[in-house]
Amino acid sequence: MDCHDFIARYGGIYEHSPWVAEQVAAIAAGLEDSERLAELMADCVDNAARERQLALIRAHPDLAGKLQVAGELTAESTEEQASAGLDQCSRVEFERFQALNDAYKEKFGFPFVMAVRQSNRAEILEAFGARLKNDYDEEFETALAEIHKIARLRLDALEVNT
């Protein structure tokens, strides 16, 4: 696979951040080991400038947010949020998510990011509450760790579907 094909295939692994695939394409284009590919992509993010990492975190949508309601999420985010039942929130749950999204963004300046594929609404709401107690640096690192989990799950799903 050449670099162009690699970027086309893996550019969506990190939400709205094809730069990750672009940066690893030259060394990973011929790679067949998905574990090694995940490591290379994670290293790329971990070694990026703090501003670029922040932009990556901010590229993620709110959970059970307005983009979901409007149908404007990426296909991957739509599937991930639906797998956790976020597309089936009651009015009360939806309002709770909105309040938590707002409080979280006000405190940290970026959206709450969680790999929700293997969670349910109650677990996500509990995590929201717990993580709101974190300080900025701890939450920044937690958000990046969750983004790596999301990327790994997306990479695994992509590998299964080929």
User: What is the phi/psi pair of residue 104, to 5°?
Assistant: -65, -50
Query: In which residue are the tokens 């990046």 written?
Result: 144
What single-letter amino acid sits at 134? N
Query: In which residue are the tokens 């290379």 written?
Result: 40
φ/ψ bin of 144: left (φ > 0), alpha (ψ from -120 to 50), beta (otherwise): alpha
Catalytic residues: 60
Q: Which residues contact 24 (CB under 8 A, 6 or more apart)?
A: 37, 40, 41, 44
SS3 content of the chain, % helix, strand, coil (to 5): 70, 0, 30
Distance CA 162, CA 40 (A): 21
